[in-house]
Structure 1
């Protein structure tokens, strides 16, 4: 399916994965709204790179824990661009700046739980809800959520973000059922992307990082998740007309699903 001329809203568009998704969407002829919360400078850099390559993009600030902020961002996109066809729910947090030992429920307070759920689960729900009526207009709207391979198996479940990121998968199914037949909703569930903030952002493999070594040894392909594999899958789901309610794990064979 040709998606050129479409308008897309990518939350967390200034990050490592988000910026790559924005770039690939632009390569398909899509006008991209680069959503950011605090990373305005990074978002502007993504915009400039897209425009330098001949694409169309603009930045927009949004707090995806705040329904009013979300509704304002969506309204501005639709007012300025006259449509909204694609939503990529990419923004998320891994720890929220909290350092918690594995399995320490006392340290994993209700306030931290609420924060993780508000950003990683409620956020995609609120963004999709605000965009739903606009996505339905063209009869081919697309939503792609970014979840985690943690939702596909029983390993690595002791991380504090595991419940929230894994919950994106059943959220995807719920939204797919609610928005059918006019909008497809799917999920891409990456494994460890070492180049991103969610993956730790460094040190790089081979730098005596026990977690990285453990992940690589567990993977059937003995490698990490490539950002381009994830971003390209997002584009594929935007272009497909007969896939909905699915979660596709990309983790180099840590989990078979």
Structure 2
């Protein structure tokens, strides 16, 4: 799938934009003419995005933020809204995972993953929704996971956070669709990113991929294409949808 519509004149916030799916999604929105407001921890990668935009159709403005410091999120959003009062699209892509059993995981690690994956998504939505309601227009795409639907071995905390994001998506869609704020959730399966690969050995990964009918990792580009479609005008009748992009994993 290579869905690249025209996002000219669209202001697009992407969190987690300096790695993995967020990076690929930011690059594709830029190539499609969007004005990308990229948020991430890695300043050098953020600067790379801005340099990439200089030779593409769109533009990019990078803001450094570590979502583990959740107290910085709302002030950051206030800065962004002061510069870009109309936000057309918000993609909540920032996330972390921790591969440990419940007996191995510390309370701090549990708090960290919920702060990054759930609290940050909540705060971004709470900060940006008022602008979208005022404009009677907007798309929010949250990033869930098949783990949030099916569970996952050694990923209980990650699965719990993604389950929370899925239900947050459904509830916000029920509350704000009448304001023409379209809110959906894309749930990737195993994707070829460092976050997915770091937790397993090569042998473990080969065994894991046997559970997927397609038998392979998704690419970040494949997930980015779905995110772009869901945030486009062509998806105007989708609201509260949970889109599984998992190589058939959830079908069996």
TM-score (norm 1): 0.87
**Rounded Cα–Cα distance in structure 2 between residues aligned with 1:141 and 1:64:** 23
**Rounded Cα–Cα distance in structure 2 between residues aligned with 1:23 and 1:109:** 36
List runs of 5+ in structure 1 lacking aligned partners.
none
Correspondence for 2:78 among 56, 72, 75: 75
**1:142-170, Cα deviation, whole Å (9 max, x unpaired):** 1101111112324x243142211232111
Q: How many residues align?
A: 244
**1:8 and 2:12 are equivalent in the alignment:** yes
Q: Is the 8 A contact 1:61 1:73 kept in 2?
A: no
Shift >6 Å, 4+ stretches: none
Residue 255 of structure 1 aligns with which residue?
A: 250
What secondary structure does 1:161 align onto? helix
Q: Is the 8 A contact 1:70 1:127 kept in 2?
A: yes
Cα separation, partners in 2 of 1:202 and 1:45, compared to 1, 3 Å: farther
Residue 23 of structure 2 aligns with which residue?
A: 19
**1:214 and 2:218 are equivalent in the alignment:** no
Query: Pairwise CA RMSD of aligned residues?
Result: 2.1
**1:37-57, Cα deviation, whole Å (9 max, x unpaired):** 2x0101111221122223211
**1:67-112, Cα deviation, whole Å (9 max, x unpaired):** 54222222222222332121100001112xxx63xx3x33223222
**1:200 and 2:204 are equivalent in the alignment:** no
Residue 56 of structure 1 aligns with which residue?
A: 59
Correspondence for 1:234 among 224, 227, 230: 227
Say which structure is richer in helix. Answer: 2
List runs of 5+ in structure 2 lacking aligned partners.
none
Residue 166 of structure 2 aligns with which residue?
A: 169
Q: Which residues of 2 match residues 117-132 of structure 1 at below 5 A?
A: 117-132=114-129
